[in-house]
Amino acid sequence: MRILVTGGLGFIGSNFIRYMLQTSPEIRIINLDLQTYAGNPENLKDVSGDKRYFWVRGDISDPAIARQAMAGCEAVVHFAAESHVDRSILDPGPFLKTNVLGTQVLLDAARAEKVKRFIHVSTDEVYGSISGRRRSSEKDPLFPNSPYAASKAASDHLARAAFITHGLPVIITRASNNFGPYQYPEKALPLMITNFLENKPYPLYGDGLNVRDWLYVKDHVAAIAYVLKHGEVGGIYNIGGDTSLKNKELVSCVRKIMGISPSLVASVPDRLGHDRRYALNDSKLRKLGFKFAHPFEKALFETIEWYKTHESWWRPLKKSDGYAAYYQKQYEKGTVPFSEIR
């Protein structure tokens, strides 16, 4: 089977490509990735010589490139996106272009190329902040709160519309917070681990009581591969982590494993519009037969080990000027000097 993966140089896409190459000997993978700040060829260095894998550098919102890359593919697995909430608050433009327009361009190309499966990879953030002990199920309405979440919700609607209007065989997956190897060190967990390794404070937003459900990326990519094979066309599948933690609790787990003092946790002003809690009901995926394989504690331990042993991967990313400049604004009113955090 020949498949198009979009955004395969990013965190989850690269883990997905590696998983598919390991588990599907007959697979051929075209990876369409623009190599934005988050796209890193180093993420797939170990498989770059594999003849079953080919990277096309290009923008998903370019219709000609999208069609060219998709030609002859049976399936599309669409990861490419602007993915960081904080960046979407500072500058939503790229989120609209890639996440909304880019997704529509791919859906149109998939229709023209008559692909047999289009997996649209989405997020629990589209359901918005969930109160009490509730968990979002696939039939819940969407109430996105950040520009990132709104752009993903728009792309979910477009994907569903392509199924209803044109019969395009779309399946939507919505996952909770991923963690694991190759995650760009702007996201909470890799930022926390690498800051601790550098003996720098981790900036904890607001009161630290926001709840996220943590999903190991290796379970996420296995679930996507499972849905690609067994999912019902037109269906939506939540992929949860079953590990709900307040941000404070997560920091505590990491501190304990790494032997870090509480003084390296710095309270900073809250993220604007910070969603209090996400939680997914993923019984539909479990009923389909998918089994999660990675318990949280072991996966967290392995992830910390990975960042400890891959300094040459993350150090250059943290040093890049663009990265630092982007966040400076966010911390200039904070309680901690920016230079100590990043």
Reported as type and span, the H/E element at residue 20 is: helix 11-23
Cβ(6)–Cβ(77) under 8 Å?
A: yes
Q: Using CB distances below 5 to 8 A depending on partner kind, what does residue 163 bind out of ligand NAD, ligand DAU, none?
A: none
Contact flags string 26-45 toward ligand NAD, x per CB under 6 A? ------xxxxx-xx------
Three-state DSSP class for 333? coil
**Sign of dihedral through CA atoms 188, 191, 193, 196?**
negative
Stretch that binds ligand DAU, among 64-72, 96-104, 123-131, 217-225 (CB under 6 A): 123-131
125 is catalytic: yes
Among 84, 117, 284, 342, binds ligand DAU (CB under 6 A): 84
Tell me how far, at minimum, the Cβ of 27 lies from ligand DAU, in Å. Answer: 26
Which C-beta is closer to ligand NAD: that of 7 or that of 181?
A: 7
Burial class (CB in 10 A: 0-12, 13-18, 19+), 227: buried
User: If binding is defined by CB under 6 A, does position 244 make contact with ligand NAD?
Assistant: no
Q: How far apart are CA 61 and CA 65, in angstroms?
A: 8
327 is catalytic: no
69 alpha-carbon distance from chain centroid:
22
Among 123, 136, 145, 195, binds ligand NAD (CB under 6 A): 123
270 is catalytic: no
Q: In this structure, what token pair is assigned to residue 37? A: 């700040």
Tell me how far, at minimum, the Cβ of 155 lies from ligand NAD, in Å. Answer: 8
Please state the three-class secondary structure of 194-252 as a single string: HHHHCCCCEEEECCCCCEEEEEEHHHHHHHHHHHHHHCCCCCEEEECCCCEEEHHHHHH
User: If binding is defined by CB under 6 A, does position 149 make contact with ligand NAD?
Assistant: no
Which C-beta is closer to ligand DAU: that of 98 or that of 177?
A: 177
Query: Annotated catalytic sites, by residue?
Result: 124-125, 148
Binding region for ligand NAD (CB under 6 A):
6-7, 9-13, 32-36, 38-39, 59-61, 79-81, 83, 98, 102, 121, 123, 152, 175, 177-178, 184
